Amino acid sequence: MSRKRLAVAMSGGVDSSVAAAILKEAGYEVSGIHLKLWADPNYESNVSILEQTCKSLDIPLHKLNLEAEFQSLVIDFFCQEYSLGQTPNPCTVCNQRIKFGLLLRRVLEIDADYLATGHYARVEYSPDGYRLLKATDVAKDQSYFLYTLGQSQLQHVILPLANLRKVEVKRLAAEIGLTTSSQRESQNVCFIPDNDYRAFIARHITLEPGDIVDISGKLLGKHDGLAFYTIGQRHRLGLSSSERLYVLRLDINSNRLVVGSKDELLGARLTANKLSWVSGRPPRNLSNITAKIRYGSPEAAVKLYIHDGRAKVEFLKPQNAITPGQAIVFYQGDTVLGGGIIEARID
């Protein structure tokens, strides 16, 4: 019987490199695949390091240019959502449309059996189908970004770092002698490496200044364009006030930025659309469900109501800065049920 063939999506970082090493050691026929997604000034140096890594692992490296697709599916979408007063998560969109969309299809077209990545999450098979679960290393768990994966994707996905902690991955990289073992991790959106969202948005979106008001409609100042702001933002408002003010709402129709106190940021209910369920259908058991309203937020207990492809969510404890455009992901214990896009906070 021939060995199972798989392609590892390799960025050049330590996680995907160790993932490839683990799978090679496990007996898979492994090849690396690297995506060129945007005009990264460090691209050539990163690829050079990656080539050294693949040479040391004795696996071939294939390069795939998806710049045009990434521009239209991720960057253009990112800009459009900001222009509509939303705050999208580009990593979630990239996973759905690029890595586990276009890339997975290309991998299967070349007769590979699986696509592997360095994500920290688990995929398990059960009598009810494939399940997506949190990683063993809760501090590094990335299952939030993968909630859009369904059965057709999960059956072809391997996540070899599922049960490893980050410190173990770094130790393995050092033991193997990978040059990636000393590289720092990137914490920013990849196509905004300097993390200067304002400058990036200003280059891609037409901005229209408008009024800053409180919840009663009182004029407090002027904003530079709604796309520059997001819910919960406190800095760069240009306001003089005796109390700290935060962005509460971006009113696209009137081009007004609504600000208020920290207490006014709290909300307990929201609606979500564009729902995606890992099992392929909404969960039948709606008890003991928790949710995260952004990657960095803690899970919170919710009551979930699903009707006509939309969800109404009630938190048992009010949440801070519910943000339209962000993903809300639902869990039962360690299991990822699915999620959707926050549509609006309900007051």
Cα–Cα dist 343/347, whole Å: 13
- For 325, left (φ over 0), alpha (ψ -120 to 50), or beta? left
Q: Is 79 a catalytic residue?
A: no
Buried b (16+ CB within 10 A) or exposed e, 243-273: eebbbbbbeeeeebbbbbeeebbebbbbbbe
Helix (H) or strand (E) holding 336: strand 335-345
User: Catalytic one among 54, 79, 91, 94?
Assistant: 94
Q: How far apart are the first and last CA of the chain?
A: 60
Backbone angles phi, psi at 103, to 5 degrees: -65, -45
Cα–Cα dist 273/61, whole Å: 39
Q: Is 190 a catalytic residue?
A: yes
The residues with which 251 forms a beta bridge, in sequence order, are 256
The residues with which 310 forms a beta bridge, in sequence order, are 307
Q: Quickly list H helices, the chain.
A: 14-25, 43-57, 67-70, 76-83, 90-94, 104-109, 151-154, 166-176, 197-204
State how far the alpha carbon of 219 is from the alpha carbons of 32, 167, 214, in Å: 56, 51, 7
Which amino acid, 254?
S
- For 108, left (φ over 0), alpha (ψ -120 to 50), or beta? alpha
State how far the alpha carbon of 306 is from the alpha carbons of 122, 309, 334, 340, in Å: 26, 7, 21, 11
User: Catalytic one among 54, 79, 91, 190?
Assistant: 190
User: Token pair for residue 169?
Assistant: 């991955």
Residues belonging to the active site: 94, 190
